[in-house]
Amino acid sequence: MKSFPQIAYRIASTLKESQSICIVSHVRPDGDCIGSQLAIALALSNNGKQIVCWNEDPVPSKYKFLDPKNLITQPQKGMQFDAVVTIDVGAPDRLGSAAECINERRVLINIDHHQTNTRFGDINWVDPRAAATGELVFKLLKAGRWPITEPIANCLFTAISTDTGSFRYPSTKPSTYHIAGELLAHGAKLALICEEVYQSYPLSRVKLLRHLYTHFKLTYNNQIAYLWLRQSHFRRAGADRADAEGLIDHLSAIDPVVVACIFEETDDGAIHISLRSKSEKVSVNQIAEQFGGGGHPAAAGATANGSPLSVQRKVLLAIKNALKKANLEAQNEFNRRCFTG
C-alpha cells in the first residue's frame, strides 16, 4: 500500500475508534469546504459511523448537487460526539455558531491547508503545501482504506478544482493533477462538475455580475481593482452571499490588475474583505493578516469593523504598499542583473 503521512494514519485510526462523529467547516462555505466535508461524511457513513455534518451557512446553490440527501445542516447545541473534525478551518472563530456546539467531544481533529492555521485541535494536520484541503482528505481516505465511491470522487474533485482556480493557481503541483486523475478513475463526473460549478449561474448572480462590471474601480496605475457589495445590491439582485463567491475572479482577470479586492457589507454591519493576487511577489495573505484575516499568497480574506470609507482607505493603502515593495524588489533585481551582466 502506498505510504501517506503518519498523521493521516493516526487520524484514520482515531476515527475508526469513534462512533459518533461531527464534521464541521467554516462560515461562507466554498467548494473546498463543502467537497472535503461531504467526502469525509460519506466515507464514514458508508462504514457505519453516526455522522453529523454542520455549517452555519447553507450550501451554495452551485454545490447542492454534491449533497442530494441534505447531509449538511445547521449546528445544534446539546449534542455529544466521540470526535469532531474541522475541515478547512484556519481558526475557531471561522466556525461561526458551530464553535459553541462542539464542546462536548472526546477529541478535536483539525484538517486544513492554510498557512495561518492556529493549530487549535487535539490532533492537527495542517499542510500549507497542499493545494486544497481536499488533497488531504483524499490521502486520509486512502490511508484509512475507505472506498472512494463516485459521489466521494465528485466531492473531492470539486474541492480541489475550485480551490486551485480550475488548476490555475501557483499552488497547483504535479501531485494535484495526479490526485485529480485518480478521482476521475474513481468515477468523478467531470462534465457534471463543470456544468454545475462553472457553467450554470442563477439570475441573481448574473445581476451581481452586471453590478460588478458597472461599478468596479481601478486605482494605482490600474494595478488594483476593487468593488463594493452592499446589502442594497444583494436585495436588488435577489441574491445572497453565496452568489458573490468567485466574483472577484472577474476583477482579477482584468489585464493590468495585479491585486483585486471586494468589500462586502455583512448582515451584522462588519465588512468582509476578499483579496486576490496575480503576482508571486505580492502575498495577499500578508495583507489580510493586517486586518485579522489570513489565507494563501494568491487568495485571502479578512473581516473588519469601522466605517466603509475608513476600511477602504486602510486596505487600499496596504495593497499599494505591498505593490510598491514588489515593484522596488523587481527594479533592484533588474539593476543587479544589469550591473553584474
- For residue range 142-173, list pLDDT tens digits in order: 999 999 999 999 999 999 999 998 998 888 99
Residue 89 per-residue DSSP state: -
Looking at residue 336, its pLDDT comes to 66
CA–CA distance from 35 to each of 146, 180, 217 (Å)?
Answer: 16, 13, 33
End-to-end Cα, the chain, rounded Å: 51
Distance CA 303, CA 307 (A): 13
Looking at residue 328, its pLDDT comes to 76
The grid coordinates listed for 162 are 475550485
Characterise 125 by phi-psi region: left (phi > 0), alpha (psi -120 to 50), beta (else): beta
Specify whether the CB–CB gap between 149 and 46 falls below 8 A: yes
- Which has the closest alpha carbon to 220: 339, 146, 327, 293? 327
- Which has the closest alpha carbon to 194: 311, 12, 31? 31
Looking at residue 335, its pLDDT comes to 62
Ranges of residues in the chain whose predicted pLDDT is under 70: 1, 330-337, 339-341
Instruction: Walk me through the domains of the chain, giving residue ranges and CATH numbers.
Output: 6-198 (3.90.1640.10), 204-333 (3.10.310.30)
**Which residues pair with residue 81 across a beta bridge?**
105
Distance CA 200, CA 323 (A): 35
Residues 6+ apart with CB under 8 A from 30: 60, 88, 162, 163, 245
The grid coordinates listed for 40 are 469525509
Instruction: Write down the pTM of the prediction.
Output: 0.87
Looking at residue 242, its pLDDT comes to 85
The grid coordinates listed for 7 are 498523521
